[in-house]
């Protein structure tokens, strides 16, 4: 029986770890968490915010997915979007999901991220 999503893995090109740290920690406000040594040798980096974990793994022939993305639930979506924009991230609002406010953004290597908050 499934009980929760443990983490979401996204791909990134070799050598992009500093860009990823700047975005996921600096822009999104996540905390970098240590990778086990055997996995750290492969490159990439992991981030967490509360129970949410995003793992960025190195892929030699990296191409960002055009449609696939994690959907990340937030609180105070307007303020969060403003924070991202103030820190240089592009925010694209989308009102096509009934009962939610949501926007999309991309990390520095082109991974698509959805941020959403239910509306009352």
| C-alpha span between 19 and 6 (Å, rounded) | 24
Q: What is the pLDDT of residues 38-72, one digit of tens each?
A: 999 999 999 999 999 999 999 999 999 989 999 99
The CATH code of the domain that includes 47 is 3.10.180.10
Question: Does residue 107 fall inside a structural domain?
Answer: yes
pLDDT at position 120:
86
pLDDT less than 70: residues of the chain:
none
Q: Which residues contact 80 (CB under 8 A, 6 or more apart)?
A: 74, 115
Q: Could you list the residue range(s) of the whole structural domain that residue 50 is in?
A: 8-60+68-118
Evaluate if pTM is beyond 0.85.
yes
Question: Does residue 1 fall inside a structural domain?
Answer: no
Question: Does residue 3 fall inside a structural domain?
Answer: no
């Amino acid at each position: 029986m499934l009980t929760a999503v443990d983490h979401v893995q996204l791909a990134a090109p070799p050598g992009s770890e500093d860009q990823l740290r700047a975005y996921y920690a600096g822009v999104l406000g996540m905390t970098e968490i240590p990778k086990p040594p055997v996995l750290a040798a492969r490159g990439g980096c992991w981030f967490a915010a509360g129970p949410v974990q995003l793992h960025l793994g190195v892929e030699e022939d990296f191409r960002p997915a055009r449609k696939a993305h994690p959907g990340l639930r937030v609180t105070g979506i307007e303020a969060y979007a403003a924070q991202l924009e103030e820190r240089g991230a592009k925010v694209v609002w989308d009102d096509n999901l009934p009962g939610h406010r949501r926007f999309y953004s991309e990390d520095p290597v082109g991974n698509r991220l959805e941020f959403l908050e239910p509306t009352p």
